[in-house]
Amino acid sequence: MVHMTKAIGFNYRYDSDYQERIHLLERTGFTGVFLYSQYAPERYIDLLHRSSLTIESLHLSYKKMSGGKSTDARYVNVLWEDTEDSASYVDALIGEVEFAHSHNIRTVVMHITGGDSPPMANSHGIVNIERVLNACVSHGITLCLENLRRLDYLDYVFAHLRSDNLMFCFDSGHAHCMTKNIATFPWDAYGGKLTYLHLNDNDGQKDQHLIPFHGSIDDWEGVMRQISRQNPDIGLTLEVRSTPEMRALYTEKQYLKLCFESLSRLQSLFGG
């Protein structure tokens, strides 16, 4: 079996000490992690640098936060405005790109809409996203746009901005519960830009970030076959979050073992 990197989001909702979490990830067999800007990565990034784990990517902010809690989960929609809020938000995103650069993180992931009814796609959004893209280009960082509820906004951005640094991150959970097209996902539109994965499962109704094979995605073989056709060199990355039920049933070590086993199983289907 071909070797594939196996990574996981660092914030999977077990309340462990950061150093112990890193040790658990290493002992389980993970090769890397990705970080969320909104979960204060400056608190643990130096510990990660001293570990064997690669920091694969940084997920840029898309919520409005106050006191560590989200006050507006769809704040990202200000991207499509020409306002002080949009300018301030883009400045903050560029600051996060600078943070990635300072820590040698070569990929950032970005949402461009929130919810079902963002503002109409327009030139203000293109200007704002291009500012973030230009910051990425200047540092040799890949900007991956993620599939959410509205694929037409992805189409709009990819039609108006062209860059080798502008690529695509596929989220299996979003395709399953948001656009409900995981079996018929339009790979012809995005496959050529596929650079990064957020692999997770759900019940088809809510974005639960379950471990693959613990939700209702019933054709992981087909999903992995399609991914392998688009990018046979891609790494496998989980974006999972433990539920209270999972935390009651499993220790963190046991939970991570289930996560790693799911990636091994997905790897066995890769290329299928």
For residue 258, the surrounding DSSP H or E stretch is: helix 252-269
CA distance 83 to 114: 18
Q: What mean pLDDT comes out for the span 204-218?
A: 98
DSSP structure class, residue 112? -
Percentage of the chain modeled with pLDDT above 70: 99
- Is the pLDDT confidence value at 68 over 70? yes
CA–CA separation, 95 and 263 (whole Å): 32
Residue-number span of the structural domain to which 81 is assigned: 6-269
Burial class (CB in 10 A: 0-12, 13-18, 19+), 30: buried
Please say whether the beta carbons of 168 and 195 come within 8 A: yes
- 118-147 pLDDT, tens digit per residue, is 999 999 999 999 999 999 999 999 999 999
Both tokens assigned to 100: 């990635």
Give the largest Cα separation in the chain, rounded.
52
Task: Judge whether 174 and 215 are in contact, CB under 8 Å.
Answer: no
The pLDDT tens digits for 151-175 are: 999 999 999 999 999 999 999 999 9
pLDDT of residue 272 exceeding 80: no
Whether pLDDT at 196 is above 50: yes
Q: Which distant-in-sequence residues (6+ apart) come within 8 Å of 104 by Cβ? A: 55
Give the rounded percent of residues in the chain with a pLDDT score beyond 90. Answer: 94
Residue 102 belongs to some domain of the structure? yes
Q: What's at 89, amino acid-wise?
A: Y
Q: What is the mean predicted confidence (pLDDT) over 30-41?
A: 96
SS3 176: helix
* CA–CA separation, 69 and 65 (whole Å): 5
- Contact by Cβ (8 Å): 8, 240: yes
CA nearest to 132, candidates 140, 123, 143, 121: 143
Report pLDDT for 69: 77
Lowest mean pLDDT among 3-7, 82-86, 242-246: 3-7
The tokens of 271 are what?
């290329």
CA 264 – CA 94 distance, rounded (Å): 35
Q: Which amino acid is at 241?
A: R
Answer whether 148's CB lies under 8 Å from 113's CB: yes
233 domain-assigned: yes
How many domains are contained in the chain? 1
What's the mean pLDDT in 39-49? 97
pLDDT band for 1, please (50, 70, 90 cuts).
very low
Q: How confident is the model at residue 72 (pLDDT cuts 50, 70, 90)?
A: confident
For the chain, give the mean pLDDT.
96
Beta strand segments in 111-178, E: 142-146, 166-171
DSSP state of 101: H
State how far the Cα of 245 lies from the Cα of 263, in Å rounded to an integer: 21
In this predicted structure, the answer to whether residue 94 has a pLDDT above a threshold of 90 is: yes
CATH of the domain at 260: 3.20.20.150
Residue 219 CA, distance from chain mean position: 21
In a domain, 1, yes or no: no
| pTM summary value | 0.97
- Three-state SS at 185: coil
